[in-house]
Amino acid sequence: MPGTEIILKFPGIPNSKLIWTSYTDEEEEGVFLNLFGRPPQWENWGQTLSGQREPNKGRAENCLAVGGDDFLWHDVRCEARNRLPLCMF
């Protein structure tokens, strides 16, 4: 929600794992929608290891995942393997 900071803690999940959120921009580049066709209520995009701001790969990466030390958002390949599902986001 806008103006609300949510800190996610997942005991036992290593930071190298990405958590899939069901948001994707496969239909329209740059417009992320969930399975119900709704956009996120806020954004919390991270950066790549090289410092490039996410989302950054255009049509190559269309799924939104949460991960890293601070659980920021990353656009990833939808067929990526190292991900865990999140039931509600």
Model pTM score? 0.71
Assess contact for 73 and 9: CB atoms under 8 A.
no
User: What is the distance between the alpha carbons of residues 76 and 67, in angstroms, rounded to a whole number?
Assistant: 11
Per-residue pLDDT of 50-63, as tens digits, reads 888 999 878 889 99
Q: For the chain, what are the domain ranges?
A: 16-35+55-89
Per-residue pLDDT of 36-86, as tens digits, reads 999 999 899 988 878 889 998 788 899 998 876 677 898 888 886 665 656
